[in-house]
């Protein structure tokens, strides 16, 4: 949510930003906010005048009573009652208008960074840099579900019976490999001085509304029936929500946290759920990171955060690239975002394995996360980044560490987490 003062002083800047995001249907919201804000401020001014008048008149009543001027005192009392009635009426009108303004403000996209390329959708995202050589081996790389089948690692049939489409059992070395990668990513982040956290896996609606847009919520979140709780789609929501309505001392900044959690997603949309494999599923595990910092430090942290993900994947022998998200591909709260994509030798192209974003003060405004500075309180900036998402990281790992005989090499970085194993052997030939 942007600062309403920006709409008051530079409505055309806000409108131009909406156009860059190809959301022209929202242009009318800016004018509507200005109209409602004008009415609200007029009511506030009237209310302030009435309160000042009431205070003045109340002071006169005591003097008149002392002077035994009862009739005059009663007349002023009647005026005070009338003023109070109007004040109550105005406060109700103000509250209704503010609620309507807030509802519209939460639909207006955040101001994107000047460096963000303008484009309609993810097809217009821009490659920034490649890390590692994207190799295509001489032998054919099977589909990841078939690789997992050969090591006895995937059972979707049983998951279909217990839970339905979009779920899976990971078994044996495949399950151990996922845990090893997450633990490796966890320890990497701890060594970068991020505080390790296991957060709540359910959050209330006020936190959901604070961290994401309504469209994202409807497409992603599972609602717990009969309760004001949602299953998390990603743990940065819990971690950011931890600081809701808090005033943080500047000495405690930046706040850097990394968390483990399962993630639950409806995956509503054109992509749908993957039938055979585990690329797009309802449930996975993830190591995540967040930073809460002063506004002037957010871009520095943004560049550090995505570089950590690149470093982790390179440690797993996976070539990656970074991709700058264009304006039309940015979620409404985001200022700037880039995807980390892993090389798929089977498809001979890159696919998304993580995303790094700075949201400016949008989440902080919605959740009331501020710092206490020398010149008063101010809203902080929030950032988040995928450290490692289990299913997609597993796919990338399998394809890039596969041998011609179906066995899978384990790089040195993971061997301590795999009991010293250097290779996963084929079980089902």
Q: Give the chain's length.
A: 429
Instruction: Please count the other Cβ atoms lying within 10 Å of the Cβ belonging to residue 252.
Output: 9
How far is it, in rounded angstroms, from Cα 382 to Cα 136? 39
Six-digit token pair at 250?
């500047």
pLDDT digits over 112-140, tens only? 999 999 999 999 999 999 999 999 999 99
Select the more confidently predicted residue: 55 or 395: 395
d(C-alpha 338, C-alpha 356), whole Å: 5
DSSP conformation letters of 32-47: HHHHHHHHHHHHHHHH
Q: Are 199 and 182 in contact (CB under 8 A)?
A: no
Q: Which listed CATH number (3.30.505.10, 2.40.160.10, 1.10.287.40, 3.20.20.80) goes with 4-105?
A: 1.10.287.40
Sorted by sequence, the CB contacts under 8 Å of residue 258 that are 6+ apart come out as 186, 189, 190, 194, 195, 196, 197, 287, 288, 289, 290, 387
**Residue 263 in this model has a pLDDT that exceeds 90:** yes
**Side-chain half-sphere of 2: how many Cα atoms within 13 Å?**
27
- pLDDT per residue as tens digits for the range 14-40: 999 999 999 999 999 999 999 999 999
Given a contact cutoff of 8 angstroms between Cβ atoms, the answer to whether 264 and 233 are in contact is yes
Per the CB < 8 A criterion, the answer to whether 359 and 335 are in contact is yes
In the chain, CATH 1.10.287.40 covers 4-105
Confidence of residue 272 (pLDDT cuts 50, 70, 90): low
pTM of the model: 0.91
Average pLDDT over residues 372-378: 91
pLDDT of residue 269: 59
Q: Residue 68: what pLDDT?
A: 76
Select from 254, 258, 204 the least CA-distant residue to 235. Answer: 258
Segment 236-256, tens digit of pLDDT: 999 999 999 999 999 999 999
- Tokens at 255, concatenated: 């706040």
CATH 3.30.930.10 in the chain, residues? 122-424
Q: Among 196-200, 212-216, 317-321, 335-339, where is mean pLDDT lowest?
A: 212-216
What CATH topology corresponds to 122-424? BirA Bifunctional Protein; domain 2 (3.30.930)
**Closest C-alpha to 296, from 339, 253, 331:** 253
Closest-CA residue to 321 (of 332, 330, 313, 329): 313
Q: How confident is the model at residue 65 (pLDDT cuts 50, 70, 90)?
A: confident
Q: How high is the pLDDT of residue 143?
A: 96
Q: Are 113 and 55 in contact (CB under 8 A)?
A: no
pLDDT of 271 above 80? no
């Amino acid at each position: 949510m942007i600062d309403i003062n920006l709409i008051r002083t530079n409505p055309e800047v806000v409108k131009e930003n909406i156009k860059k995001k190809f959301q022209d249907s929202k242009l009318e919201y800016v004018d509507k906010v200005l109209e409602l804000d004008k009415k609200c401020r007029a009511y506030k001014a009237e209310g302030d005048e009435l309160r000042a008048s009431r205070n003045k008149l109340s002071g006169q009543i005591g003097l008149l009573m002392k002077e035994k001027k009862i009739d005059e005192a009663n007349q002023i009392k009647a005026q005070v009652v009338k003023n109070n009635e109007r004040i109550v009426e105005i406060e109700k009108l103000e509250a209704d208008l503010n609620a309507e303004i807030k509802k519209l403000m939460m639909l207006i996209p955040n101001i994107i960074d000047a460096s963000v390329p303008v484009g309609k959708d993810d097809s217009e995202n821009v490659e920034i840099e490649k890390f590692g050589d994207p190799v295509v081996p001489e032998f054919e790389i099977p589909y990841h579900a078939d690789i997992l089948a050969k090591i006895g690692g995937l059972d979707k049939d049983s998951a279909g019976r217990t839970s339905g489409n979009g779920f899976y059992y990971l078994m044996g070395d495949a399950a151990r490999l996922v845990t090893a990668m997450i633990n490796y990513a966890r320890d990497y982040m701890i060594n970068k001085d991020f505080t390790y956290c296991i957060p709540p896996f359910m959050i209330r609606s006020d936190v959901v509304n604070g961290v994401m847009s309504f469209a994202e919520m409807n497409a992603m979140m599972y609602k717990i029936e009969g309760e004001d709780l949602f299953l998390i789609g990603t743990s940065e929501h819990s971690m950011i929500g931890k600081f809701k309505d808090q005033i943080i001392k500047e000495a405690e900044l930046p706040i850097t946290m990394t968390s483990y959690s399962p993630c639950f997603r409806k995956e509503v949309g054109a992509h749908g759920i993957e039938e055979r494999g585990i690329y797009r599923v309802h449930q996975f595990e993830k190591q995540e990171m967040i930073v809460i910092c002063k506004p002037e430090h957010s871009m520095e942290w943004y560049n550090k955060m995505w570089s950590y993900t690149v470093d982790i994947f390179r440690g797993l022998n996976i070539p990656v690239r970074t991709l700058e998200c264009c304006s039309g591909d940015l979620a409404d709260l985001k200022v700037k975002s880039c995807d980390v994509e892993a090389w798929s030798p089977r498809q001979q192209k890159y696919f998304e394995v993580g995303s790094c974003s700075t949201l400016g003060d949008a989440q902080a405004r919605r959740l009331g996360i501020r710092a206490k500075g020398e010149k008063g309180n101010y809203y902080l900036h929030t950032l988040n980044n995928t450290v490692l998402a289990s299913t997609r990281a597993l796919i990338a790992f399998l394809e890039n560490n596969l041998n011609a005989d179906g066995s899978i090499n384990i790089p040195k970085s993971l061997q301590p987490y795999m009991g010293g194993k250097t290779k996963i052997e084929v079980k089902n030939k």
